[in-house]
């Protein structure tokens, strides 16, 4: 965009309405198409479904633009309209330059004929001339890693091989604009890496990319900006980190609501069975919440945490009789009950003074360095000798995401150093903005 030329992808006020096809609607569609040239004219409101409404964005030269959202949010429709496969109902979409749409890799492969011949057909489909394909052929085959199978009919290929060949052809078309829809999930890990590297190379070479994916990791790794679609509407268009976090939070919230009743039900049953909650009841834990902590919005509840963020565990407790002998404890574990962290006021060197009426206890962690994954929390209040007043197992859960991947439950702050005959450099595109 900095070079003053218009952005290669420009989407303005885009809306798409699909027709629900009922028996009578076919006839009316035909009639209205032939009489007034409009496909929707003859249809009533309830016979159409709005897949996209009022979408506006531009993707600049060399920019990688991600689109995320749940199933049925309109992501693929958007991509197909940008690719020119579907026509918009309202608004305008302009795309400049040669487009390679990786929507279904190997779309157009003919099962009965050889991989070699299919490369030529697929290449022609993507706009290459025969001479151009011949020039690129060796490189395409090498990229796909299918040297030994090129003379084999593609019906004998595995689905992974199919995708590899399709991707190899597509990225060799020297596209100006690359449209990618969730295509890399089929190949194996090694090929997936090779594809991502290739996409990074294309981006570094100033190509423009529109990526639709459920893989938030991939989106945050590749993209400069991310659009979140929900039921065809533009929810948020911002940096990958902001959009993805907002999206995850919303998914977690929705799941939370969904699972809340379920969990409460489970909890009640467990309480009755005495496996999830036990104790004398001299003190009762009435609520446990997780709060953002930190400085910005310390009191906002949050169950989705980015590794390294602050987090506060808040415990509401009640007693009917004043207590002088008590210990508050917390234990964090993975869903498979691997203990990750546990401590209590006694271990922390705190001596009980009094506990009466209603009280709030907070455990503040300024920096939670857990690895990505799901965690459960046990909270207990008990006597110094261990006799429980109220022990609540798995009273709350939370999810941790991390900007970089890794294994395990602990993510210390770290840095790599190299000396002597070794050198590394950051990948052309670093994960975050």
Partner 1 sequence: MLETARRSLRFRNLLTTLTRREIQARYRGSVLGFFWSLFNPLLLVLVYSVVFGLILTPERGSGLDPYPLFLIAGLFPWIWASTSLLESTVSLQAHAGLVRKAVFPVELPPLVAVLSNLVHLLFALPIVLLALLVGRILGYAVGGWALLLFPLVVVLQLPLVAGLALALAALNALFKDVRDLVSNLLTLTFFLTPILYPVSALPWPEARPWMLLNPFAPFTLAYQHILFHGTAPPVYLWLLMALDSTVAWALGAWIFSRLRDTLVEMA
CB of 23 to partner 1, least distance (A): 10
Q: Which is nearer to partner 1, 18 or 278 (CB)?
A: 18
Per CB under 8 A, contacts with partner 1 among 71-90 are 83-87
Burial 101-124 (b: 16+ CB within 10 A, else e): bbbebbeebeeeebbbbbbbebbe
CA separation for the pair 89, 74 (Å, rounded): 14
Q: Does 108 bind partner 1 (CB under 8 A)?
A: yes
Residues 6 or more apart whose Cβ sits within 8 Å of residue 149: 115, 156, 157, 161
Per CB under 8 A, contacts with partner 1 among 189-218 are none
Q: Does 125 bind partner 1 (CB under 8 A)?
A: yes
Q: Decide if 305 contacts 368 (C-beta within 8 A).
A: yes
Q: Which is nearer to partner 1, 84 or 335 (CB)?
A: 84
Q: Decide if 392 contacts 377 (C-beta within 8 A).
A: no
Q: Which is nearer to partner 1, 177 or 202 (CB)?
A: 177
Q: Does 144 bind partner 1 (CB under 8 A)?
A: no
Q: Decide if 356 contacts 323 (C-beta within 8 A).
A: yes
CB of 33 to partner 1, least distance (A): 5
Q: Does 110 bind partner 1 (CB under 8 A)?
A: yes
Q: Does 153 bind partner 1 (CB under 8 A)?
A: yes
List the x/- string, 25-64, binding to partner 1 by CB under 8 A. -x--xx--xx--x-x-------------------------
H or E element that contains 194:
helix 189-204
CA separation for the pair 317, 283 (Å, rounded): 7
Backbone angles phi, psi at 315, to 5 degrees: -115, 125
Per CB under 8 A, contacts with partner 1 among 1-20 are 18-19
Q: Which is nearer to partner 1, 13 or 41 (CB)?
A: 41
CA separation for the pair 302, 295 (Å, rounded): 14
Q: Does 350 bind partner 1 (CB under 8 A)?
A: no
Q: Which is nearer to partner 1, 83 or 216 (CB)?
A: 83
Q: Which is nearer to partner 1, 29 or 376 (CB)?
A: 29
Q: Does 156 bind partner 1 (CB under 8 A)?
A: no
CB of 78 to partner 1, least distance (A): 15
CB of 39 to partner 1, least distance (A): 5
Q: Which is nearer to partner 1, 116 or 235 (CB)?
A: 116
Tokens in use for 99?
């487009």
Query: Considering only residues 58, 104, 200, 224, which one is a binding residue for partner 1 as defined by CB under 8 A?
Result: 104
Total Cβ atoms within 10 A of residue 133: 20
Q: Which is nearer to partner 1, 26 or 354 (CB)?
A: 26
Q: Where does 231-361 have alpha helices with state H? A: 240-273
CA separation for the pair 341, 332 (Å, rounded): 5
According to DSSP, residue 184 is labeled T
Q: How far is CA 27 from CA 21, 23, 86, in A?
A: 10, 8, 21
CB of 103 to partner 1, least distance (A): 5
- What does the binding site for partner 1 look like in residue numbers (CB under 8 A)? 18-19, 21, 26, 29-30, 33-34, 37, 39, 83-87, 99, 101, 103-104, 107-108, 110, 112-113, 117, 120-121, 124-126, 129-130, 153
């Amino acid at each position: 965009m900095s070079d003053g030329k218009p952005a290669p992808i420009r989407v303005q006020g885009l809306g798409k309405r699909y027709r629900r096809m009922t028996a009578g609607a076919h006839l009316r569609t035909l009639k209205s198409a032939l009489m007034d040239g409009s496909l929707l004219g003859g249809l009533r409101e309830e016979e159409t479904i709005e897949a996209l409404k009022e979408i506006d964005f531009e993707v600049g030269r060399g920019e990688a633009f991600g689109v995320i959202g749940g199933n049925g949010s309109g992501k693929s429709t958007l991509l197909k309209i940008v690719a020119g496969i579907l026509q918009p109902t309202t608004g305008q979409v302009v795309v400049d330059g040669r487009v390679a749409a990786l929507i279904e890799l190997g779309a157009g492969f003919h099962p009965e004929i050889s991989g070699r011949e299919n490369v030529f057909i697929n290449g022609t489909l993507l706009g290459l001339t025969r001479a151009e394909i011949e020039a690129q052929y060796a490189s395409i085959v090498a990229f796909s890693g299918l040297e030994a199978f090129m003379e084999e009919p593609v019906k004998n290929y595995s689905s992974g091989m199919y995708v590899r060949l399709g991707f190899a052809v597509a990225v060799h078309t020297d596209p100006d604009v690359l449209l990618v829809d969730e295509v890399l999930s089929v190949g194996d890990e090694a090929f997936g890496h090779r594809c991502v590297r290739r996409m990074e190379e294309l981006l570094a070479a100033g190509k423009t990319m529109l990526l639709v994916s459920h893989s938030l990791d991939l989106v945050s790794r590749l993209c400069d900006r991310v659009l979140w679609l929900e039921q065809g509407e533009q929810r948020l268009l911002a940096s990958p980190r902001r959009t993805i976090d907002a999206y995850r939070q919303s998914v977690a919230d929705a799941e939370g609501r969904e699972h809340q009743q379920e969990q409460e039900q489970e909890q009640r049953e467990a309480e009755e069975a005495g496996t999830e909650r036990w104790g004398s009841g001299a003190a009762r834990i009435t609520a446990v919440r997780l709060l953002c902590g930190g400085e910005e919005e310390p009191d906002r509840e949050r169950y989705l945490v980015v590794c390294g963020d602050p987090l506060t565990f808040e415990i509401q407790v009640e007693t009917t009789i004043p207590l002088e002998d008590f210990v508050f404890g917390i234990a964090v574990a993975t869903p498979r009950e691997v203990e990750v962290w546990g401590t209590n006021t006694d271990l922390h060197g705190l001596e009980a003074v009094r506990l009466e009426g209603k009280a709030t206890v907070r455990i503040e962690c300024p920096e939670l360095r857990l690895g990505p994954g799901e965690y459960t929390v046990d909270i207990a209040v008990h006597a110094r000798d261990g006799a429980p007043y109220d022990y609540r197992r798995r009273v709350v859960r939370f999810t941790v995401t991390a900007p970089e991947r890794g294994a395990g439950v602990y993510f210390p702050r770290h840095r790599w150093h190299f000396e002597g005959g070794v050198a590394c450099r950051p990948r052309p595109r670093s994960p975050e903005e």
